[in-house]
A = this chain, B = another copy of it.
Amino acid sequence: MGRVTWAAGVDLGGTKIQIIQVNTFGTIGERVKIATDVTGGPDAITQQIVDAIGEMSDKIGSEPAAVGVGVAGQIDADSGVVKFAPNLKWENVLLQQDIKRAIGVPVIVTNDVRAATWGEWLHGAGKGAKNLLCVFIGTGVGGGIVSDSKMLSGYNNTAGEIGHITVSLDGPQCTCGNKGCVEAYAGGWALAKRAQEAVTLSPQKGKRLVDNAGGDISRITGKMVMEAGAAGDALASQVVEQAVEAIAAGVSGLVNSISPEKIIFGGGVIEGSPYLIDKIAPLIHKRTLDAAFEGVEIIRAKLHNDAGAIGAGALAIRLFVK
């Protein structure tokens, strides 16, 4: 058996670290998932990643040619410094440099949603597309844009924050400080919050949701709202409908502004309720210019929870190996 050339793709989250072997010829190999040692701080987590890649290398019988890491946070494009990662409580962590020193191969650190977009583009539902918009709807809403075969990063390396497109001038308060963001309707936290507010105003209409939450309004989650909506609960359905409207409006603005060929929907909320795509798609059609919507495909993400790790590994190969 010939030796494979591979990259370690790392998805560093607040609760889990996932690492996947991504081979240069496009296949996936070993994989490992470990709990993030958040209490240990940056040094402990860096060591966890280095150790796990070491064990993976032993199994495979060769060192990785490069390492890619996706992190939920703001990343400096040049240095790979994690400027701010709220889930990890990190500020200005030299992750790229430290992993590189420890393993001795090129390392790229990028934003987790950008990494997932790389994954869907190079190995998933967007394979081969030159113009792509990925929309990930989970607790938050984020995405990535590929235009003319180039991943957009922008001046501040923050491109893809599509959850913070305003779709309602005086809409609900978002965690970002703005009002009426897509995320303030459609993020998991927003589904929960909006349902909690609606239930508080109409306890009788919201009885089902409150019962599902064990009688405690504050325990209503986004997932419960999605489930109750799917089961026909009127109050939950209304919250979900508004989320669908907001997503469609936000994505429509991007269709008109950047003209993607494929629009890929993924993330926890979509994974749990893929039927949402069938509700969103006709509204996008309705809100976009005919010339911009012509030929556009609206599809579901393929890589599920692996998108970030596979994308980070594929990006490392693209940058350093091929």
Contact = CB atoms under 8 A, between A and B. Distances in A.
Interface residues of A, number: 54
A150 to B, nearest CB: 6
Contact of A178 (B159, B250, B259, B286): B286
A257 B147 contact: no
B131 A258 contact: no
B256 A296 contact: no
A231 interface: no
A255 to B, nearest CB: 9
Nearest to A147: B152
Nearest to A129: B155
A67 to B, nearest CB: 24
Contacts of A257: 143, 145, 159-162, 165, 254, 257
Contacts of A258: 145, 152, 154, 159, 258
A40 interface: no
B256 A155 contact: no
Interface stretch (A11-19, A117-125, A196-204, A287-295): A287-295
A164 B295 contact: no
A163 to B, nearest CB: 8
B249 A295 contact: no
A154 B253 contact: no
B289 A259 contact: no
A14 B180 CA distance: 38
A294 B156 contact: yes
Interface stretch (A48-56, A166-174, A220-228): A166-174
A259 B165 contact: no
Number of copies: 2
Contacts of A256: 158, 161-162, 164-165
Interface of A: 74, 83-84, 130-131, 143, 145, 147-148, 150, 152-162, 164-169, 171, 176-178, 180, 245-246, 249-250, 252-254, 256-261, 286-289, 291-292, 294-296
A177 B291 CA distance: 13
B259 A159 contact: yes
A292 B291 CA distance: 30
Contacts of A250: 166, 253
A166, A177, A291 — most chain B CB neighbours (10 Å) = A166
Contacts of A74: 291
A115 B109 CA distance: 36
A178 B145 CA distance: 23
A169 B84 contact: no
A252 B161 CA distance: 11
Given A131-B154, A148-B150, A156-B259, A291 B167 contact: no
